């Protein structure tokens, strides 16, 4: 399946500073970037470094004054998505070293305090069936409400408010997964069904392979039900939204406008 | 310099569960583990995995009921520590990929919101001189007060309270460094001058090499003034305390007793 | 029913300061203080002022160094407690002026963010039946766990953690009542069934009189199920625990020991 | 001095509900409401109740669907404002009962944790001179930044961020006053110099009368420097912004537009 992406955004910094951007689709076996063009104005010298977990790139941009960014790409996505309920979890001690960090508390996902709750509410399920129960519960009980959350909103706030946007849905799902001893991480991405159109966020959980219960891999899960794994173009991954913001500034910046357009071919 | 360590702690879990431990000294060029013995009772089958940034190991322990852990080691530490004030910082775009994540917000270190403050309070300093100014300010303005903070206390809380323990001092230093666009991470360690004796925590900041300003490395900084870098035995590193807790349980656990003894030979 | 109370506690202040105490049983129509003796050592000149809502007294104590406080009283409690489920709520605009403030957010009870949740979870109940449903849900889903919360713990934290002590149970109940547009306040008190023995806390909610649905009064509710309204000796009321702490110090104080003993005659 | 006020705002509620409004100027000896007109559309039956501390009124409005509110008034303000630095504070035990509650922690003003900080930073000042030092420090170190804070932002957040709007400046001042054992409360008001025009917020602190140090009264303080006490028309007072919101809804509401215009005659 081919996704065509067009993104534009603008911002201004008060003082010359290096700004960190992450908005380009990662090059992965499951998603082939056919064409891609990034334009930044004024045209700077960009520095690219590998992003978290080696997925995608971060761009350092020496910014001063007004900056506008545009990005178009055409991406062929081929990603199989077995039903979550058929997947087992690994015992914690079977996890690969690089998955263990995704069990721990992070900026927006203070997961540990949810341990008793997850046992009470979802204790009858395990593995992928528990993730599916959590996803389904969030999807049914939360109201997708643009503007109802901000950069300080944590999963605890969202859990109580029962509203938020994709970022918040994903943070709650990550917390409940980690509190269940299942590694979970945050995925920034593009997807065609997002309404209103915007960057999207979903979770990835680490579960056992269907064919080999001693090894595992990451599976996409969208608590908003807006993005099918087979139609999701991953930008990057991290502990939570703090790791994959499309714009991180070290100094005060004023955000301008953003448009995101994703279509299926 | 040789450090001799003895640690003992006990805990109990309500239900059989995998518990994550991290208390052994990491094997590094700057610290040679001469002898080391870990005893866990009841004696389980342990699984060891590489910890964050490849420094030290995490131990998975299948726990049930009462558990006691003891660890002794003899460690030769050889670590040069140039004066911070002589070290420059790298521009963000010069940082290696693996240092960039340590600029971002984490569980206990929501650094971004300190950006204006750090500019106002420490804006006349840069690089290592800024870190030294921050360290010195914390050391002078905070009261070391065991029992005044808990597992939920963030760097924002500590910054306001002006009291805490090594964990809290370190979280504040990390926030102020990251808000200054200097990567900073949390180091759990042993050190002889810690009073009352306990596991210790210090920060590491990423600054330029004295001889080559285009490359950098991590330098230890202790805002409590209790641990000299040359007398510090590193256990592990992470974004903050959430990544290197000596005991992380997935299920309710009751902590028993802890003793830590560190002497210089 | 007669309750006999004995309380003793000690503390020390670093510097001479006025300390605010509130531990004596309030004189109310529903509870007659038969005998009462307060001893403070060293013996200071106390200043008593009326406490929140005119219920009970606060004591200002000029403290310096070590202080010990002892209090004994014999209290005759006569308090009828109609079943909550039989009580209606008043419409907000029917509430007396002095009840309106108890609908609003306070230090530990940020109630507004629970509005959607309370509608989803308890929307089929109204008035006293909703309070009873909330009380029963908390009693069934929370684990009474001394030591699991601290002075910074809010109702949001407790709601997620599903554990705490009487203070935390009460804060959650208050939030869910206020979010339901039912005034709710915090009551510090003594009660014989509290285990382990300690000061106790319950909520009061403002509901319609059984006989006259246009006027209302405050009804005691204990989410821990440890205190029967007819066996509860009220000390004071407030927005939440911040208003009725038994000890509030303006300057650093070190708490010593506390014993509370409550028996029925 | 005569202030002419015009306010208009609109909002919509999802379901019929009682909404609490507080936007009219209070009738006080220091401010004489000459003319006043409140129009609400659709025209409902309003219920007015006395607001906190008996200052001003709260309005209950049975709302359903779209609501628009307009208010005009002409107010003669006569308020003397002695220089803060000339005013002493009362010892805590000299405070009237109704001032004591304003020493305690509230929703947005968790003052207790600032006690050590206020001693370190402002310990050389006492009474009104301390309040003036605090006010001046906030005015110099904070950037007035509309949009930088939200309904969840506390004084701790604002203290660290060093930016905010009048609400946030006032919360920080209140915390630092209470931590100094000086009662402080939140005042919603109108003032002509507010830029951009909006409802305004300032603090009131309880200090000794210049002529009689054993009794005291409330004095207005504006950390934003935008409102002179002699040109401030008080709407209401409370522990913090939670008590005097111009619009509190018990159910989800969508805010529309707001305009505020204040001119001097």
B3 by Cβ neighbours in 10 Å (0-12 / 13-18 / 19+) ranks as buried
The phi, psi pair for C215, rounded to 5°, reads -125, 165
What is the length of chain A? 265
**From start to end of A42-179, where are the E strands?**
47-50, 57-77, 143-144, 163-164
User: Does a cis peptide bond (omega within 30 degrees of 0) precede residue A35?
Assistant: no
What local confidence, expressed as pLDDT, does residue C231 receive? Answer: 96
State whether A115 and B252 contact (CB < 8 Å): yes
CB neighbour list of residue C173: distance below 8 Å, 6 or more residues apart = C131, C134, C135, C138, C184, C203, C221, C223
Task: Let me know: does C73 contact C5? Beta carbons within 8 Å.
Answer: yes
**From start to end of A147-209, where are the E strands?**
163-164, 184-190, 200-208
What local confidence, expressed as pLDDT, does residue C188 receive? Answer: 98
Q: Dig out the tokens for A155 from the structure.
A: 């999963």
What local confidence, expressed as pLDDT, does residue B207 receive? Answer: 98
Give B135→chain D minimum CA distance, Å.
17
User: Does a cis peptide bond (omega within 30 degrees of 0) precede residue A42?
Assistant: yes
B185 by Cβ neighbours in 10 Å (0-12 / 13-18 / 19+) ranks as buried
Give pLDDT tens digits along chain B (265 positions).
Answer: 999 999 999 999 988 999 999 999 999 999 999 999 999 999 889 999 999 999 999 999 999 999 999 999 999 999 988 999 999 999 999 999 999 999 999 999 999 999 999 999 999 999 999 999 999 999 999 999 999 999 999 999 999 999 999 999 999 999 999 999 999 999 999 999 999 999 999 999 999 999 888 899 999 999 999 999 999 999 999 999 999 999 999 888 889 999 999 999 8
Residues of D whose CB is below 8 A from A152:
150, 152-153, 157
pLDDT tens readout for residues C41-68: 998 899 999 999 999 999 999 999 999 9
Give C234→chain B minimum CA distance, Å.
30
Dihedral-angle region of residue B130 (phi above 0 means left; psi in -120 to 50 means alpha; beta otherwise): alpha
pTM here is: 0.96
The phi, psi pair for A131, rounded to 5°, reads -60, -45
State whether C160 and A120 contact (CB < 8 Å): no
Residues of C whose CB is below 8 A from A157:
113, 156
Provide residues of C within 8 Å CB-CB of chain B. Answer: 150, 152-153, 157
What is the length of chain D? 265
Tell me which chain D residue has its CA closest to the CA of residue A253. Answer: D148
Closest in D141, D156, D163 to B160, CB measured = D156
Residue with tokens 């935008």: D226
Residue among C91, C163, C81, C173 nearest C131 (CA): C173
Choose, out of D93, D175, D181, the residue to mutate when testing the contact with C (most C CBs < 10 Å).
Answer: D93
Residues of B whose CB is below 8 A from C152:
150, 152-153, 157
Reported confidence tier of residue C251, pLDDT bands at 50, 70, 90: confident
Give the mean model confidence (pLDDT) for residues D127-147. Answer: 97
CA distance C12 to C42: 12
CA distance B22 to B46: 12
What local confidence, expressed as pLDDT, does residue A253 receive? Answer: 87
pLDDT of residue C91 exceeding 90, the answer is yes
D41 C-beta neighbours (distance < 10 Å), count: 11
pLDDT of residue D39 exceeding 90, the answer is yes
What local confidence, expressed as pLDDT, does residue B212 receive? Answer: 84
pLDDT of residue C122 exceeding 90, the answer is yes
Residues of D whose CB is below 8 A from C103:
20, 248, 250
CA distance D62 to D20: 9
CA distance A63 to A49: 17
Residue among B161, B153, B144, B150 nearest B224 (CA): B144
CA distance A134 to D245: 36
What local confidence, expressed as pLDDT, does residue B47 receive? Answer: 96
Give A50→chain D minimum CA distance, Å.
30
Question: Which of the two residues, B211 and D165, has the higher pLDDT score?
Answer: D165
What local confidence, expressed as pLDDT, does residue A265 receive? Answer: 87
State whether A252 and B116 contact (CB < 8 Å): yes
Give pLDDT tens digits along chain A (265 positions).
Answer: 999 999 999 999 988 999 999 999 999 999 999 999 999 999 889 999 999 999 999 999 999 999 999 999 999 999 988 999 999 999 999 999 999 999 999 999 999 999 999 999 999 999 999 999 999 999 999 999 999 999 999 999 999 999 999 999 999 999 999 999 999 999 999 999 999 999 999 999 999 999 888 899 999 999 999 999 999 999 999 999 999 999 999 888 889 999 999 999 8
Q: Using alpha carbons only, how large is chain B's radius of gyration in Å?
A: 18
Q: What is the mean pLDDT of chain D?
A: 96
pLDDT of residue C246 exceeding 90, the answer is yes
pLDDT tens readout for residues C143-178: 999 999 999 999 999 999 999 999 999 999 999 999
CA distance B203 to B187: 6
Q: Dig out the tokens for D82 from the structure.
A: 């002695």
A138 C-beta neighbours (distance < 10 Å), count: 23
* Max Cα distance, chain C (Å): 56
Give B157→chain D minimum CA distance, Å.
7
The phi, psi pair for B231, rounded to 5°, reads -125, 25
Look up the ipTM and state it. 0.96
Q: Dig out the tokens for D245 from the structure.
A: 């919101």
Give the mean model confidence (pLDDT) for residues C107-132. Answer: 97
Query: How many cross-chain Cβ pairs, A to C, lie less than 8 Å apart?
Result: 34
Task: Let me know: does C75 contact C231? Beta carbons within 8 Å.
Answer: no
Residues of B whose CB is below 8 A from C153:
152
pLDDT of residue C14 exceeding 90, the answer is no
Give A154→chain D minimum CA distance, Å.
11
CA distance D218 to D182: 11
Provide residues of D within 8 Å CB-CB of chain C. Answer: 17-18, 20, 47, 49-52, 58, 60, 62, 91-97, 100-101, 103-107, 110, 112-113, 115-116, 119, 151-152, 179-181, 238-239, 242-243, 248, 250-252
A151 by Cβ neighbours in 10 Å (0-12 / 13-18 / 19+) ranks as middle
CA distance C160 to A117: 7
DSSP state of C152: T
Reported confidence tier of residue D121, pLDDT bands at 50, 70, 90: very high
CA distance C37 to A240: 57
What local confidence, expressed as pLDDT, does residue A43 receive? Answer: 83
What local confidence, expressed as pLDDT, does residue C76 receive? Answer: 98
């Amino acid at each position: 399946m081919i996704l065509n992406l067009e993104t534009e955004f603008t911002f201004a910094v008060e003082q010359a500073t290096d700004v960190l951007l992450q908005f380009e689709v990662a090059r992965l076996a499951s998603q082939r970037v056919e064409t891609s063009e990034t334009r930044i104005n004024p045209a700077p010298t960009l520095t690219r470094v590998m992003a978290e977990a080696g997925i995608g790139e971060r761009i350092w941009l020496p910014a001063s004054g007004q900056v506008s960014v545009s990005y178009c790409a055409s991406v062929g996505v081929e990603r199989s998505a077995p039903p979550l309920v058929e997947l087992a979890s690994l015992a914690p001690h079977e996890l690969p070293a690089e998955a263990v960090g995704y069990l721990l508390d992070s900026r927006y996902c203070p997961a540990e305090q949810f341990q008793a709750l997850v046992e009470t509410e979802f204790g009858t399920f395990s593995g992928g069936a528990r993730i599916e129960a959590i996803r389904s519960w969030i999807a049914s009980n939360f109201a997708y409400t643009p503007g109802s959350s901000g950069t300080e909103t944590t999963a605890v706030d969202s859990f109580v408010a029962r509203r938020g946007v994709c970022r918040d849905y994903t943070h709650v799902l990550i917390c409940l997964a980690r509190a269940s001893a299942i590694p979970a991480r945050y995925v920034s991405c593009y997807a065609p069904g997002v309404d209103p159109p915007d960057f999207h966020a979903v979770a990835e959980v680490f579960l056992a392979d269907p064919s080999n219960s001693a090894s595992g891999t990451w599976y996409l899960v969208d608590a908003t039900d807006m993005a099918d794994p087979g139609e999701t173009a991953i930008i990057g991954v991290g502990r939570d939204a703090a790791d994959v913001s499309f714009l991180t500034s070290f100094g005060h910046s004023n955000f301008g406008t953003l448009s995101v357009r994703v279509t299926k071919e």
